[in-house]
Amino acid sequence: MNEKWLVGVDLGGTTIKIAFINQEGELIHKWEIPTNKSEKGQHIPTDIAKSINQTLAEYGQQKSKLIGIGIGAPGPVNLGAGSIDVAINLGWENFQLKDILERETSLPVIVDNDANVAAVGEMWKGAGKGAKDLLFVTLGTGVGGGIIANGEIIHGINGSGGEIGHITSLVVGGALCNCGKTGCLETIASATGIVRLFIEELSSNHAPSVLRDYFEKHQTVSSIQVFEAATMGDELANKIIDQITLYLGLSLANLSNGLNPEKIIIGGGVSKAGDVLLNPLKEHFSRFAFPKVAQGVELAIATLSNDAGVIGGAWLAKQHFVNNDSQAIATII
pLDDT in tens, 24-41: 999 999 999 999 999 999
Q: Is residue 327 one of the residues assigned to a domain? A: no
Name residue 95's beta-bridge partners. 84
Domain boundary among 113, 147, 168: 113
- Give 252-290 pLDDT, tens digit per residue: 999 999 999 999 999 999 999 999 999 999 999 999 999
277 and 212 fall within a common domain: yes
- The Cα 193–Cα 229 span in angstroms is 17
| Whether residues 40 and 108 fall in one domain | yes
**Length of the chain measured in residues:** 333
Q: What is the pLDDT of residue 170?
A: 61
Q: Are residues 132 and 103 in the same domain?
A: no
Neighbours of 90 (CB within 10 A): 23
Give yes or no: residues 16 and 150 share one domain.
no
CA atoms within 13 A on the CB side of 303: 11
Beta-strand ranges (E) seen in the chain are 5-11, 15-21, 27-34, 66-73, 77-78, 83-87, 92-95, 109-113, 134-139, 143-149, 152-153, 263-267, 298-301
- Amino acid (1-letter code) at residue 201: E
| pLDDT tier, 325 (very low <50, low <70, confident <90, very high otherwise) | low
Residue-wise pLDDT for 224-244, tens only, equals 999 999 999 999 999 999 999
Based on the domain organization, do 196 and 174 belong to the same domain? yes
Q: Mind listing the pLDDT tens digit for each residue in 120-153?
A: 999 999 999 999 999 999 998 889 999 999 999 9
Task: Say if residue 168 is in the same domain as residue 94.
Answer: no
- Same domain as 215, residue 242: yes
- What per-residue confidence (pLDDT) applies to 208? 80
**Whole-number pLDDT of residue 332:** 35
Domain range for 236: 127-303
Band (pLDDT 50/70/90 cuts) for residue 328 is: very low
Residue 137 and residue 100 share a domain: no
Residues 280 and 154 in one domain: yes
pLDDT over threshold 60, residue 157: yes
Edge-to-edge order in the sheet of strand 143-149? 152-153, 143-149, 134-139, 263-267, 298-301
CA distance 185 to 162: 13
Predicted local distance difference test score (pLDDT) of residue 182: 87
- Which pLDDT belongs to residue 22? 97
CA 45, distance to chain mean position in Å, is: 21
pLDDT digits (tens, 9 = 90+) for 62-93: 999 999 999 999 888 999 999 998 888 899 99
Domain boundary pick from 113, 146, 177: 113
> 134 with 242, same domain?
yes
Looking at the 3D structure of the chain, how many domains does it have? 2
Q: In this predicted structure, what is the pLDDT of residue 331?
A: 35
DSSP-assigned letters across all residues of 93-130: EEE-HHHHHHHHHSS-EEEEEHHHHHHHHHHHHSTTTT
pLDDT for 214 beyond 80: yes
Whether the model clears a pTM of 0.85, i.e. scores above it, the answer is yes
Q: For residues 165 and 299, state if they share a domain.
A: yes
Query: For residue 333, what pLDDT is reported?
Result: 39
